[in-house]
Amino acid sequence: MPQTNYLCCVMLKILFWLFLIGLIYRVVFSYLLPILRMTSAATGQVRHMQEQMKEMERRMREQPQPQPKTTRRVNKDGDYIDYEEVA
C-alpha cells in the first residue's frame, strides 16, 4: 500500500509539471511572441520612416531653393473712381 501512495504522488507531480509546462508554452506562444513580433515590426517601420525623412531632408538641401518673387503694388493717385448714383 505505501508503494501505491508513492506512485500516486509521483504521477501527480508529473501531471502538475506537464500542466505547468503546457501553461507556460501557451502563454509564451499566445501572448508574448505576438507582442515581440509586433514590437520588432513597429521598430522596423519607425526606422524606415526615419530613413525616408533623412533622405527627403538631404534632397531638400541639395535642391537650390527658388527665390520667392516679390511683387510690390504701387499705389497710384488715379486708382480711385468717384461713384455717383444715377436716379
Domain count, the chain: 1
Confirm whether pTM is higher than 0.75: no
**Domain that residue 38 falls in:** 2-62
Measure the CA dihedral 58/61/64/70, to 10°: 130
- How many C-alpha atoms does 20 have within 13 Å on its Cβ side? 6
Instruction: Give the mean pLDDT per block of 10 residues along the chain (87 residues).
Output: 82 96 95 93 96 94 74 60 72
Is 78 part of a structural domain of the chain?
no
For residue 83, being part of any structural domain is answered with no
The gap between the terminal CA atoms of the chain, to the nearest Å, is 128
Q: Kindly state whether residue 19 falls inside one of the protein's structural domains.
A: yes
